[in-house]
Structure 1
Amino acid sequence: MELSYEQLFDISEKIHSSYRKLKKVHASLKLEFINLEKEHETLRKEHCTVDSDYMELLDEFDSLNAKHENLNSEHETLLKKYFDLSSEHDTLKSLYVELETAFKELDTIA
């Protein structure tokens, strides 16, 4: 079967029309791809910033944790000193009471 010139022309027009549509879709997809690449780059930079901030927070946490451990150690030392001083105070207080009693006895004898 042989096609007429008009039929071939119609087919050619349809092909050309489809090609133009595909070209528009391609341009639209290319533009969308470029926008997605830009968005990807922005998100990548944000991720790097967040990652950097996260690492800084981890460092700060480690620093605060070390300070906390030092403070706990100092607290334990001070607590031990407090108990030692309290014990020494009780000893001195009992010696004072003994001396006071001894002086009272001396006063009653004299």
Structure 2
Amino acid sequence: MVTQAVNEGILKLVADRNSISVKNHSDIMKELIGKNIISKECAEASERIWNSYRNDIHHMNPTVTHIPFRDLAKQNIQDIATIEKDIFEVSFENGKLVPKQPKYWDVQKDATVPIFLRLE
């Protein structure tokens, strides 16, 4: 599932930008939560995605035929939105986008940031 890959990618980015050596998922989560790097809501959303049949889907186990993909995808997309808000939240000042946590953005020399907006 794409949401599982996005979840793992965001966690890797957050770990890298906080100089946390990439370990297994459980260790990364404990460190991110323990250091208050991510919110409780973000951690819970990430864990829900991680536990959403990740191994069965990743390894295409026979049990995938019994996974309720439509409901699972909807929940995972909502959880990705929670994670993105926690990590990539912005405000606007004089028409400019201002990241709440700039360390997760690739701020250019001219103070701009390359972005992709998903408007829903």
Q: Which structure shows the bigger proportion of residues in strand conformation?
A: 2
Q: TM-score range by the shorter chain?
A: under 0.3
Q: Which structure shows the bigger proportion of residues in helix conformation?
A: 1
Q: TM-score, normalised by structure 2?
A: 0.21
